[in-house]
Amino acid sequence: MSELLQTTINTLAVGGLYALIALGYTLVYGILRFINFAHSDVVAWGGWLAFTVAGAAGWLAEDGAPVFAVVLVVIATMGLCAAIGVTIERLAYRPLRSAPRLNVLITAIGVSLFLQNVGLKLFGNRPRSISAGTALIRNNEPIAAFADVRILRFDVLPIVLSVALLIGLQWLVYRTRMGRGMRAVAFDERVASLMGVNVNRVVTLTFGLGSALAAVGGILFALRVDLQQTAEAAWVVLGLKAFVAAVVGGIGNVRGAAAGALLIAFVEVFVHTYIVKAFPGRLWIAQLQDIYVFGILILVLLFRPSGLLGKSSVEKV
Amino acid sequence: MNLSAWVRHVPIAVAALALGLGGCGKKKDDNTIVVGHFASMTGPQATFGISTDNAIKLAIKERNAKGGVKGKQIVLKTIDDASKNTEAATAVTRLINDHGAVAVLGEVASGRSLAGAPIAQNAKIPMISPSSTDPSVTDVGDYIFRVCFLDDFQGWVGAKFARENLKAEKAAILYDQAEPYSSGLADYFGKAFEAMGGKVAARLSFNAANLEISSQLQTIKGAEPQIIYLPGYYNSVAPIIRKAREAGITAPFIGGDGWDSAELAKNAGDAINGNFFSNHYAPEEPRPEVKNFVEKYKAEFGATPDGLAALGYDAALVLFDAMDRAKSLSGPDLRDAIAATKNFTGVTGTFSIDDKRNAQKSAVVIEYKGGQQTMATRIEKK
Amino acid sequence: MKSLQERVAALRPSLPAALGRSALPFLIAIGLAYLIDAAIGPAIGATWRKILLDVGIAILLAGSLNIVNGYAGQFSLGHAGFMLVGGYTAAWLTFYGGIHWFGVKGTYGGFLGAGQLLFLGSCVLGGLVAAGFGALVGLPSLRLRGDYLAIVTLGFGEILNRLVQITDRQPKRVEDVQGRSLFELANNLGGAESFSQIPGYTTLFFVYVFAFVLLVFAYRLKYSSRGRGLLAVRENEIAAEAMGVDTTRAKVVAFVFSAFWGGVGGALYAHQISTLSPGELSFQKSIDIVLIVVIGGMGSITGVVLGAAILVILPELAREFADYRMIVYALALVVVMILRPQGIMGVRELWDTSPWRRLVQRLRGGQP
């Protein structure tokens, strides 16, 4: 029983993390219909910028950093990442707005390589840790423990943050004027601009929003598993899984991204734990973790290409 | 630029660059000896290459100050392979053909040593790998040597230490499935530990690119091992140890030389204390070779040399020693001289090159105490 | 007055002539490859020989991907997966087969001797197995729209990667291999450790025979009705369907064909650097191949050759600036996409460009 509970908490924590990153993919795809390959690098930069900002403010080394430091660092990082996202869109993607989608995709790969390698220069090529031995977020202590179950701070954080941000995003997209503009552009860019929606502003906002969420995702990931160097496959795989979550949930759909993220986390953590348990002697079964994720992607795409919560659309001639 | 301009300019540019390259090769000076080094100076594993390269530079500087080899100065040519196998092959080709290297040092990663070795072998130029521990590296041919111990020995050292020093009966193994080094060590440790009468209660893997290991840690916790063998590189080891302690796992971890980095203690924080790893040398060993090396390295590069640096230094020293003894610096003569290395005393201990061109040597086990590496014991060869 | 059929029959060349015309380019290709191997190879020194090999393999990989990405306009990010399948299959055959049949590790026999024939067979086998995987992936996923295909192929490549990781260790001593059958050894691909000591059969001759043969195929495909069907799919799938192109079939055939050559490329790659590891053939490698196609010009055969040469040689020349070359490379990619989205050549071929025409005219003695 306690193990079941622990596994569930782990699943939710991982799911929350994936959801935050998946939202960035889904927002951009919903509006511009292209996969922003550079998103995972913005996530990586989020982690590193938080580390840098905290270090520059002197909150990394000493013990007496104030409580509001955490909040300030997170907000500053969100702002910086939003600026990066907006700049990328303005410089690299906007000139290609009407180009074939393949070109935009290649450009995104180029931007991704650029961010990776500039990151290597700026932040160095040694992995770091934000949490250990720092005052920023001193300890990942259990905030509750009963029987054998430990509820850790860094497990609760992604769950709470992602739920809060999801609700906020839902409100933004469905209840505000800007959100209406976003939905209009997603529906038909040309008609929306004829109706007086400033398409460029909507796109800028979308990129800013997605990148700010990416920053949070990057910080949470870095807190959970350390800062890997920017060119490390860990970020790419993280981005890939978040993207898979977005596609599985129905890309372009905010709630879908969350549902997809939960499903992916469920398979990766929950199902994996019990499969390994069921076959104790089989070494290779324990190595299939990633295969489940991609397997789900392929299955969903084959049987329900528009995703779990996505609307299927018929292409008109 | 329109298309015709492109078509006009591209071939010119390519030709010009080709000429430039042709011009810069083949600079052979009769008064110097070129030693090649191929290493990952950029890319994800750049720290390995840079550490090794620094130590080799130090060795050459010292040697040149003493008058070089056979009256000639030694020149080091380092080519970066960007942590990629294909580029490693090109790098060795270039070292031998463009720069006229009499011997090649490199690589740290076994995969890249395996890619470079056939080229050195075909050109009959000796290659000494400072720190590739995969047994098959020196199988490539009779010109390929190494100065580090092998994975099977290191796995055995871990098992012996766990069984005899820690008196562990039950072990768990957690290894990186995508990392050849890690899965190899895990295998050798498991076999040795069981052969010594221990029991491997859980054997699990993770992927460094996917550090979501909560389910693995939970399984390990359930298996209640007395030690956990975690052969991996320091970048993934730090978060794993931390998360294991957070999850309430208290058994000590034992690792391999991939743990050796100042970053590990920094990144893992307090969780690192009480864990062990096997290594090539310990910087605080009282031997004069170690003292001399550590001092000079610190003075030159401002950091405590890690195991990779010590091995890079020893690889260079073994090469110079062989150069002194060799009849000439031709490939076959130098090869024979390296193969005849006996009881060589370097920073990483005293060792001989055996008939399989591997170094026969001992290992040290290091414990983390108060965030510092301290030598726990030395384990002699089987 | 002759009937239409009779007139057509009169125009049709005789059987030997037709066969000759069909085989001639391949014979020229083999001759050229031999020339490169025998005349150019020894003249340029080992370093440039290695670079020339890399260029040839890049031509093979990018040329084959061009059929899917360039002709059919489908975005595949899994080409390294086919390389992996082809490379491992071929390495399995030459390493274990070589020990079984010749009793030695390493290369065996001289030019076109038993060893090289085994190697040729292993390249073809690698290609065929890769083509089989191509069908397996292509059949279900080519019904999907463009960027979904990119993700599925990417995911497929990663799955293959993980599958290789769970194979067993490679026995490397002759006596360990001899006692076991080849099929039993099919699970001994080295896991995450590399499959090493693959005999180094790859020479300029083999690389360029395969590369030229692929180029001839690609050329003929481009100007055949099937190829025009693919180009139609690329421009507008619905319109192509309306014009009677079986789009799914066309795409699958292109995909399988491309996978075959990707597998051959992987086999040549494996026997060139003698060691294969799953980490080296991850999607980063796929992206490298896509970049060659995009920079060269999607759909252009000569463009891809040019792209392969540039993207292999330039980083090699820029080795001294290693620290910054990736940043410049990334920036160049973005700039090329913005300023020249169709790549260097676009869909055109070298002989479609005006400088080339002028050159030809001048050679013929006419006025430019």
Q: Which pLDDT value is given to residue B20? A: 44
Average pLDDT, chain B: 86
Q: Which pLDDT value is given to residue B209? A: 66
Residue B2 binned pLDDT confidence (cut-offs 50, 70, 90): very low
Q: Is B101 on the interface with C (CB under 8 A)?
A: no
Q: Which pLDDT value is given to residue C146? A: 64
Q: Which pLDDT value is given to residue A314? A: 53
| Tokens coding A133 | 């031995």
Nearest to C166 among A284, A295, A298 (CB): A284
Q: Where are the beta strands (DSSP E) in B141-262?
A: 144-146, 170-176, 199-206, 227-229, 253-255
CB contact under 8 A, B248 and A224: no
Q: Is C338 on the interface with A (CB under 8 A)?
A: yes
* Cβ neighbours around A187 below 10 Å, total: 11
Nearest to C148 among A110, A121, A305 (CB): A305
CB contact under 8 A, C165 and B82: no
Q: Which pLDDT value is given to residue A41? A: 94
CA–CA–CA angle A186, A187, A188 (5° rounding): 95
Most confident of A140-144, B29-33, C206-210: C206-210
Q: Is A233 on the interface with B (CB under 8 A)?
A: yes
Average pLDDT, chain A: 83
- What is the mean predicted confidence (pLDDT) over C52-61? 95
CB contact under 8 A, A297 and C291: no
- What is the mean predicted confidence (pLDDT) over B285-290? 90
Q: What percent of chain A has pLDDT over 70?
A: 88
- Give one DSSP letter per residue of B29-69, joined into a string: -TTEEEEEEEE--SSTTHHHHHHHHHHHHHHHHHHHHTT-B
Q: Which pLDDT value is given to residue A164? A: 92
Q: Is the pLDDT of residue A59 over 90?
A: no
Q: Which pLDDT value is given to residue B16? A: 45
CB contact under 8 A, C146 and A101: yes
Q: Which pLDDT value is given to residue A22? A: 93
Instruction: Measure the CA–CA gap between A294 and A298, rounded to whole angstroms.
Output: 6
CB contact under 8 A, B47 and A126: yes
Q: Which pLDDT value is given to residue C191? A: 81
Q: CA quadruple C326, C332, C337, C342: dihedral positive or negative?
A: negative
CB contact under 8 A, A14 and B212: yes
Q: Which of A176-185, B265-274, C49-58, C251-260 has the lowest mean pLDDT?
A: B265-274
The CA radius of gyration of chain C, in Å to the nearest whole number, is: 22
pLDDT per residue as tens digits for the range B181-224: 888 899 899 999 999 999 999 888 887 766 678 788 888 888 89
Chains with ≥3 Cβ pairs under 8 A against A?
Answer: B, C
- Least Cα distance to B347 among B131, B106, B125 occurs for B131
What are the structural domains, with CATH classification, of chain B?
Answer: 5-149+288-347 (3.40.50.2300), 152-279+364-379 (3.40.50.2300)
In a domain, A117, yes or no: yes
Q: What percent of chain B has pLDDT over 70?
A: 91
A137 lies in which domain range? 2-231
Q: Which pLDDT value is given to residue B364? A: 92
pLDDT per residue as tens digits for the range B340-356: 999 999 999 899 999 99
Q: Which pLDDT value is given to residue B4? A: 47
Distance from CA of B44 to the nearest CA of A (A): 7
Instruction: Measure the CA–CA gap between C314 and B5, rounded to whole angstroms.
Output: 19
Nearest to C193 among B41, B96, B134 (CB): B134
Higher pLDDT, A87 or B109: A87
| Coil/strand/helix, residue A137 | coil
Residue A21 binned pLDDT confidence (cut-offs 50, 70, 90): very high
Length of chain A counted residue by residue: 317
Q: Which pLDDT value is given to residue A154? A: 76
CB contact under 8 A, C151 and A109: no
Q: Which pLDDT value is given to residue C159? A: 87
Q: Quick one: how far is CA A124 from the chain centroid?
A: 23
- Give one DSSP letter per residue of A220-232, joined into a string: HHHHHH-B--TT-
Length of chain C counted residue by residue: 368
Chain B residues 169-228 with CB within 8 Å of chain A: 177, 202-205, 207-212, 214-216, 218-219, 222
Q: Which residue does chain C place closest to B134, by CA atoms?
A: C193
Q: Is B118 on the interface with C (CB under 8 A)?
A: yes
Instruction: Measure the CA–CA gap between C309 and C296, rounded to whole angstroms.
Output: 9
Q: Which pLDDT value is given to residue B3? A: 44
pLDDT per residue as tens digits for the range A180-237: 998 888 888 888 889 888 999 999 999 999 999 999 999 888 887 777 777 777 788 8
In a domain, A111, yes or no: yes
Residues of B in contact with C51 (CB under 8 A): 90
Chain B residues 7-26 with CB within 8 Å of chain C: 7-8, 10, 14, 17-18, 20-21, 25
- What is the mean predicted confidence (pLDDT) over C125-140? 92
- Give one DSSP letter per residue of A160-186, joined into a string: HHHHHHHHHHHHHHHHSHHHHHHHHHH
CB contact under 8 A, C322 and B8: no
| Residue B174 near residue B220, CB atoms below 8 Å | yes
Q: Is C253 on the interface with A (CB under 8 A)?
A: no
Q: Is the pLDDT of residue C225 over 80?
A: yes
Q: Which pLDDT value is given to residue B213? A: 80
Q: Is the pLDDT of residue C144 over 80?
A: no
Residue C263 binned pLDDT confidence (cut-offs 50, 70, 90): very high
CB contact under 8 A, B214 and A14: yes
- What is the mean predicted confidence (pLDDT) over A125-129? 76
| Number of inter-chain CB pairs under 8 A, B vs C | 117
Q: Which pLDDT value is given to residue C217? A: 92
pLDDT per residue as tens digits for the range B249-262: 999 999 998 898 87
Q: Is the pLDDT of residue B14 over 50?
A: no
CB contact under 8 A, C317 and B93: no
pLDDT per residue as tens digits for the range A241-280: 898 899 888 887 888 899 999 999 999 888 888 887 788 7
CB contact under 8 A, B17 and C314: yes
Instruction: Measure the CA–CA gap between C109 and C120, rounded to whole angstroms.
Output: 13
In a domain, A17, yes or no: yes
Chain A residues 263-302 with CB within 8 Å of chain B: 268-270, 272-273, 276-277, 280, 283, 286-287, 289-290
Q: Is A316 on the interface with C (CB under 8 A)?
A: no
pLDDT per residue as tens digits for the range A93-116: 998 888 877 788 889 989 998 998
| Residue B322 near residue B302, CB atoms below 8 Å | no
Residue C280: which residues within 8 A CB-CB, separation 6 or more? Answer: B84, B85, B86, B111
Q: Which residue does chain A place closest to C142, by CA atoms?
A: A302
Q: Which residue does chain A place closest to C76, by CA atoms?
A: A102
Q: Which pLDDT value is given to residue C367? A: 54
Q: What is the dihedral of CA A262, A270, C148, C260, to 10 degrees?
A: 170
Q: Which pLDDT value is given to residue B238? A: 86
CB contact under 8 A, B269 and A133: yes
Q: Is the pLDDT of residue C368 over 50?
A: no
CB contact under 8 A, B85 and C306: no
Q: Which pLDDT value is given to residue C322? A: 63
Q: Is B372 on the interface with A (CB under 8 A)?
A: no
Q: Which pLDDT value is given to residue C321? A: 67
Residues of B in contact with C47 (CB under 8 A): 25, 90, 93-94, 97-98
Q: Is the pLDDT of residue C10 over 50?
A: yes
pLDDT per residue as tens digits for the range B40-87: 887 777 788 899 999 999 999 999 999 889 889 999 999 988 888 888
| Residue B83 near residue A233, CB atoms below 8 Å | no
Residue A167: which residues within 8 A CB-CB, separation 6 or more? Answer: none
In a domain, A309, yes or no: no
**Structural domain total, chain A:** 1
Q: Is A122 on the interface with C (CB under 8 A)?
A: no
Q: Which residue does chain B place closest to A228, by CA atoms?
A: B235
pLDDT per residue as tens digits for the range A132-158: 545 455 556 666 767 677 777 777 888
Q: Is the pTM of this model over 0.90?
A: no
Q: Is the pLDDT of residue B11 over 60?
A: no
Q: What number is the ipTM of this complex?
A: 0.81
pLDDT per residue as tens digits for the range C59-77: 999 999 999 988 888 888 8
Average pLDDT, chain C: 87
For residue C306, the surrounding DSSP H or E stretch is helix C301-317
Instruction: Measure the CA–CA gap between C368 and C356, rounded to whole angstroms.
Output: 11
Instruction: Measure the CA–CA gap between A172 and C39, rounded to whole angstroms.
Output: 69
Q: Which of B20-29, C183-192, C278-287, C307-316 has the lowest mean pLDDT?
A: B20-29
Within 13 Å and on the Cβ side, how many CA atoms surround A231? Answer: 23
